[in-house]
Chain A
Amino acid sequence: MLELKNIHARYGAITALRGVSISVSRGELVALLGVNGAGKSTTLASIAGVLRPWQGDILFEGSSILGKSPEQIARLGISLVPEGRDIFPSLTVEENLRLGAFTRSEKTEYNRNLGEVFELFPVLKERLQQPGGTLSGGEQQQLAIGRALMSRPRLLMLDEPSLGLAPALVDQIFELIAGLHQRGVTILLVEQNVNRTLEIVDRAYLMNTGLIENQGTPQQLRTHADIEGLYMGVGRQAKT
């Protein structure tokens, strides 16, 4: 469904991705793992259209989406929940969700999606008229994911959804992601919580300093890759 071919990207003078190639098939739950600065968020940003790679190509369902604007990419059904959640603090929960459904104009569909989001995240229904900025970190994360789901995305991208959350909430989030995966949502997940991630994903890529160092099923990665190094946050020397 999604294919990145040899993506090179940079921020100003800093090169962030130095030839990244990944793929995600329909219905898969794939993870990008790596330490801070490995280029995971940059990869998602490139797919979402926020950052334009200067080399390589990105294919979604066979067609190139390189160079498309973020709004065009959203309309294709790709939803990104950024690191830091990026909910709209001055908008109410309801308004946040309504905007999430922007690409879907049908009224009955909106109500159905809203109902499903409320099922997954009952707390959002409770806090429906509260400004997003007054929600706790965990609630904001739920709002961010709920908002992304309002558009019934074909590809859901999550950037460090467990970041900064209490352990009980972390469990909840991972269960939720696994649950979505079971429902058939295609998910690309960026995470630093290696252990929990490998428990639920189909495949994962290990990134380091802008390159893919390793990939495979959780099984393969556990036996062959230096997972411990990833745990300890010990980054390898950049290969030039």
Chain B
Amino acid sequence: MINLEFIINTLSLGSLYAMLALGLVIIYGILRLVNFAYGELIMMGGYIMFLLAGFTPLPWLVVAALAVLAAMFTSLFTEMVAFRPVREKSLTAMLITSFAVSTLLQNGALLIISPRARAVNLPQIFQTSVMIAGTSVPWRNILTILTSLVMLTLLTLLLRRTVLGIALRAAADNFTMTRMLGVPANTVISAAFAISGIMAGIVSIFWIARSATVTPAIGAPPLLVAFVATVIGGMRSLTGAVVGGFIYAITISLLGIFLPPDLLEFREAFMFVFVIIILLFRPQGLISSKTSTERVG
């Protein structure tokens, strides 16, 4: 049933997925690197929330902020330790390294904390709802939409009004030329990873809010969403990431309504078929940026 509740939920999901995809594309745009460890940044945020909310008296806003910071620092750390040394070698090497880092972080969490799922103490607001036009809307969804609006605005301001932002966009156009103008490569790349980490951290808050648990493997589902949304949207543009995120959310929500009950659990599989069909006709994704040279077939 497509009613107000459905619309708000889908908008909320779309906002979440849009932020998710943005964090991935911002690195891809500059480095052509698909960061497989991106999902684990969400895992890190989740575990910090679990540890701080469960074992310290810190107020929840502080916990959330620290979770975002944790994701950001993990992102920066992996860039320095695992990607920077291989950056000059080859793209494939970077891809494999990022997958290795993903495995490392996941199993690290397994080793250090536990293979079992852990419950995260969420603030009261994530459990409550508010009445809007006759329907009960979870606060969680409203907050997701609002947060993503704020983040998108901040990101746009950063990219358009600051020198760093201009440098980031230039690097996505032509990294070498940007360096030849004196812009330090490491600064640009670290900035991209930091932004990516912040996005992941924020997503982790709302992602965990839905299930209230964290496991070492919690990074895989959002990673899949980010991947698919980016491929649908076209990997080279930030607008594409946002569009892709919303399309993913809308499609999967519609599938949830229209699929017969025994096929519901195959939602992702149907989503994937849908993506394959899109790719058959538009391998470059739905939003192609002016400088796309990616298509090969």
Contact = CB atoms under 8 A, between A and B. Distances in A.
Per the CB under 8 Å rule, do A and B touch in the complex?
yes
A99 B176 contact: no
A71 B184 CA distance: 6
A90 B289 contact: yes
Given A88-B173, A89-B291, A147 B180 contact: no
Interface stretch (B72-80, B163-171, B215-223): B163-171
B177 A88 contact: yes
Interface in B179-204: 179-185
Most buried by B among A69, A75, A79, A99: A99
Given A95-B166, A99-B166, A80 B173 contact: no
Interface of B: 163, 166-167, 169-170, 172-174, 176-185, 289-291
Given A88-B173, A90-B173, A75 B182 contact: yes
A102 interface: yes
B290 A89 contact: yes
B91 to A, nearest CB: 16
Nearest to A86: B177
Contact of A102 (B167, B173, B176, B290): B167
Contacts of B174: 86, 88
A34 interface: no
A102 B184 CA distance: 10
Contacts of B291: 89-90, 133
A90 B237 CA distance: 11
Contact of B180 (A50, A89, A90, A98): A50
A88 B169 CA distance: 9
A147 B170 CA distance: 13
Nearest to A96: B170
A90 to B, nearest CB: 6
Nearest to A95: B166
Contacts of B178: 88, 99
A89 B163 CA distance: 17
25 contacts: A50-B176, A50-B180, A70-B176, A71-B180, A71-B183, A74-B179, A74-B182, A75-B182, A82-B177, A89-B291, A90-B291, A95-B166, A95-B169, A98-B163, A99-B163, A99-B166, A99-B167, A99-B170, A99-B183, A100-B181, A102-B181, A103-B182, A131-B290, A133-B290, A151-B182
A100 B183 CA distance: 10
Contacts of A151: 181-182
Contacts of A91: 166, 169-170, 173
A48 interface: yes
Contacts of A100: 181
B164 to A, nearest CB: 11
Nearest to B170: A88
A147 B182 CA distance: 12
Nearest to A85: B177
B163 A102 contact: yes
B173 A89 contact: yes
Most buried by B among A50, A70, A95: A70
A52 to B, nearest CB: 11
A48 B179 CA distance: 10
Contacts of B289: 90
Interface in A45-93: 48-50, 69-71, 73-75, 79-80, 82, 86, 88-91
A131 B169 CA distance: 12
Given A88-B169, A89-B290, A133-B291, A80 B182 contact: no
A103 B183 CA distance: 8
A64 to B, nearest CB: 19
